[in-house]
Amino acid sequence: NDVKLWGGRFADGPAAALEKLSASVHFDWRLAPYDIAGSRAHARVLHRAGLLTDDELERMLAGLDRLAADVADGSFTGTIADEDVHTALERGLLERLGPDLGGKLRAGRSRNDQVATLFRMYLRDHARIIGALIADLQEALVGLAEAHPEVAMPGRTHLQHAQPVLFAHHVLAHFQALSRDAQRLRQWDERTAVSPYGSGALAGSSLGLDPQAVAADLGFEGGSVANSIDGTASRDFVAEFAFITAMIGVDLSRIAEEIIIWNTKEFSFVTLHDAFSTGSSIMPQKKNPDIAELARGKSGRLIGNLTGLLATLKALPLAYNRDLQEDKEPVFDSCDQLEILLPAFTGMLATLTVHRERMEELAPAGFSLATDIAEWLVKQGVPFREAHESAGECVKVCEAAGIELDELTDEQFAKISPRLTPQVRTVLNVPGALAARDARGGTAPSAVAVQLAEAKADLTVQ
């Protein structure tokens, strides 16, 4: 005899095809520990409302403990006939306590408020796990910046040489993006720390149960939801979580793309550690940046999880609709993928070899100091429009002659503009160009040292 939660009004059991379609137990089983925690809290409010005696509460909690242990060691699992984790655990409780006591726990709650609550609990735990993994990655970035404090590299826009920057400055830019992701997780958590338990199917309960007590019991700092319809029907907390994890994926993909480029023969800026790269089954010489490529690829999957979920939520009428069962797999997947990806990604960065000579050789190439000529002229009182023009002329002459800016002769400079005295050479070197940009956020070693110190302080509060 199947334990169905709605047997009373049905003459026939469900068709096998329906059962197969309806089942979520194979993916929502991971909510089991949270469901049992919810049941403990619910038993306590039933007791407080006078619906369980002291003795019944004690036996109920003991039964839930036994069930939790059996779930933990795998001796109790859900089956497809159970449909979902909530029904499976109800069966487990009935098997352990008998129908008289086991059948009392369902009063005043619905799978609708249960699942909305447990899902929040699960995601809050994983937000913390992912936050800690991001902090590890940020630490690896700080390590890279700290190990190479004064290495110059070509800063790029449009992937073209733009202006020289410090490698540490570049690395710490990625740190900032990840800091905002970590902050998003913390702010999301604050918004999500509100419990829907007690909302029932949608309208609340007539049994005198206290939703605030359940919320406090389950660690929801924000108390219980203000509106039971919203509590059971809203999933913006899921969509926002999916956005944050997609954003993390996108931020990783931007680091990944650079690692892939830097690791090419043509760039030769970095070498990946053997333990964090892969070989080719046919080409013996190959050493591939697969971790970075998987990060790039998985970012697409994380974006897909977000967009799929939003499409599911679009135009759903209030309150609960079964469509909402489709809310879990995408974000469970987003958690799983990031929790697999981040440790490998961090390892790849923490073991990276940086080729200083190569970066510094290319830092001034491609006329990346042309802006410095223009700004030097501005400091001599030349309007920027004219300064830009003269510096551009220098580039044109160099390009035609196949030389770099510092190879122009005094005569060539003077011919381009009488304001271009030999003094201009003082800014035609990378260390000078870097050091000159010493305002907050800039690329001067002194400014980057401040960024590094702030990054380390940021990590300690996270």
Point out which residues bind ligand ARG (CB under 6 A).
24, 28, 84, 111-112, 115, 320, 322, 324-325
CB atoms under 10 Å from CB of 138, counted, come to: 25
- Closest alpha carbon to 279 in 266, 270, 290: 290
Q: Which letter, b or e, does each residue of 44-59 get, where b requires 16 or more Cβ atoms within 10 Å of its Cβ?
A: bbbbebebbeeebbeb
Please name the amino acid found at residue 360. E
Lookup: tokens for 359: 């970066």
Lookup: tokens for 198: 């007690």
Q: Which is nearer to ligand ARG, 28 or 181 (CB)?
A: 28
User: CA-based Rg of the chain, rounded to a whole angstrom?
Assistant: 31
Q: Which is nearer to ligand ARG, 154 or 330 (CB)?
A: 330
User: Cα(167)–Cα(362) distance, rounded to whole angstroms?
Assistant: 12
Contact call for residues 253 and 295 (beta carbons, < 8 A): yes
Contacts of 259 (CB under 8 A, 6+ apart): 270, 272, 289, 292, 348, 349, 352
Contacts of 70 (CB under 8 A, 6+ apart): 76, 92
Helix axes 85-102, 111-147, angle to 10 degrees: 130
Lookup: tokens for 257: 């793309």
Q: Which letter, b or e, does each residue of 170-182 get, where b requires 16 or more Cβ atoms within 10 Å of its Cβ?
A: bbbbbbbbbbebb
